[in-house]
């Protein structure tokens, strides 16, 4: 498959303390795979340093921008975009606005990892909290309420890993449409795109984020798609993109979104021969 029409916009850097490889190494990998563009979207600084231990400090932000510049100069053949993965926190709007003004981004990614102060649901540290059917229902409900607000906010060019709470394999009973539909309606209203995040295939849930059912409702609604790896190491850039293109086509998408200076354009998905 020719990946020249695709971009990988969700990637990290060592500044977040749980990724490896410098941005230029990610860019080299993207070039090797034949991707059209690569973008960086490391976990943003928090308003207060020490908020958690998996993001850059405020004073490290200039270093982040610099490392993306280095990738641009060392790997000139590929377009290197600047983004940031920003946590949507309730009542966190002022900080999001400040972050948005801190650099000439090509795009901003909105994510929900926290459903309550100090409770990042994808952190294995809190695995004991997924103790039963009622707790799973409760966590999913809290997550999707925030995810819907994040989608509605209009702060972000696209939003990341929907259905993250399935990471360790926990899913509520019954039709999950009740969680998906409000978030999709909110993203539609704000014109926010949503990613297929291929990293889910490598977590306990063994499924991309979001589920096929979510993708079907999303494409039916006419929401724009982004395909992302969420790479935390250079070898994971563009991982499973062919599989993601096949899934995207199969669920009704024909294009994916590109971003430059926070303007969106749509590009046809690569031609694919997929076996289902």
**Residue numbers of the site for Zn ion (CB under 5 A)?**
111
User: Minimum distance between the CB of residue 9 and Zn ion, rounded to whole angstroms?
Assistant: 12
Point out the residue whose Cβ comes nearest to Zn ion: 111
Are the C-beta atoms of residues 110 and 150 closer than 8 Å to each other? Answer: yes
DSSP string, 142-188: HHHHHHHHHHHH---SEE--TTGGGTTS---SS-THHHHHHHHHHHH
Closest CB to Zn ion among residues 143, 246: 143
Closest CB to Zn ion among residues 44, 219: 44
User: Minimum distance between the CB of residue 3 and Zn ion, rounded to whole angstroms?
Assistant: 23
How far are the Cα atoms of 130, 139, 149, 165, 191 from residue 135, in angstroms, in the given order? 6, 6, 21, 12, 32
Angle at 9 between CA 8 and CA 13, to 5 degrees: 105
Closest CB to Zn ion among residues 147, 180: 147
How many Cα neighbours within 13 Å face the side chain of 25?
13
User: Minimum distance between the CB of residue 89 and Zn ion, rounded to whole angstroms?
Assistant: 13
Closest CB to Zn ion among residues 74, 202: 202
User: Minimum distance between the CB of residue 32 and Zn ion, rounded to whole angstroms?
Assistant: 23
């Amino acid at each position: 498959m020719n990946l020249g029409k695709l971009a990988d916009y969700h990637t990290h850097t060592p500044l977040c303390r749980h990724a490896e490889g410098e941005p230029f190494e990610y860019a080299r990998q993207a070039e090797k795979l034949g991707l059209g563009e690569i973008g960086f979207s490391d976990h943003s600084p928090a308003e207060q340093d020490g908020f958690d231990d998996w993001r850059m400090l405020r004073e490290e932000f200039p270093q982040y921008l610099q490392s993306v510049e280095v990738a641009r100069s060392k790997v000139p053949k590929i377009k290197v975009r600047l983004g940031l993965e920003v946590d949507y926190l309730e009542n966190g709007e002022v900080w999001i606005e400040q972050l948005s003004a801190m650099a000439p981004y090509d795009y901003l990614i909105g994510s929900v990892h926290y459903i309550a102060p100090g409770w990042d649901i994808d952190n294995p540290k809190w695995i004991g909290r997924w103790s039963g059917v009622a707790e799973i229902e409760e966590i999913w409900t809290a997550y999707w309420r925030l995810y819907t607000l994040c989608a509605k906010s209009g702060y972000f060019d696209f939003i990341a890993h929907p259905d993250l709470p399935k990471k360790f394999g926990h899913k509520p009973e019954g039709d999950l449409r009740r969680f998906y539909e409000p978030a999709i309606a909110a993203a539609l209203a704000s014109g926010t795109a949503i990613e297929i995040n291929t990293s889910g295939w490598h977590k306990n849930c063994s499924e991309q984020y979001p589920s096929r059912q979510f993708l079907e409702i999303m494409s039916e609604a006419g929401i724009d798609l982004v395909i992302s790896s969420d790479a935390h190491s250079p070898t994971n850039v563009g991982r499973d993109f062919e599989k993601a293109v096949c899934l995207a086509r199969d669920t009704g998408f024909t294009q994916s979104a590109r971003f430059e200076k926070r303007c969106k354009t749509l590009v046809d998905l690569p031609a694919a021969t997929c076996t289902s």
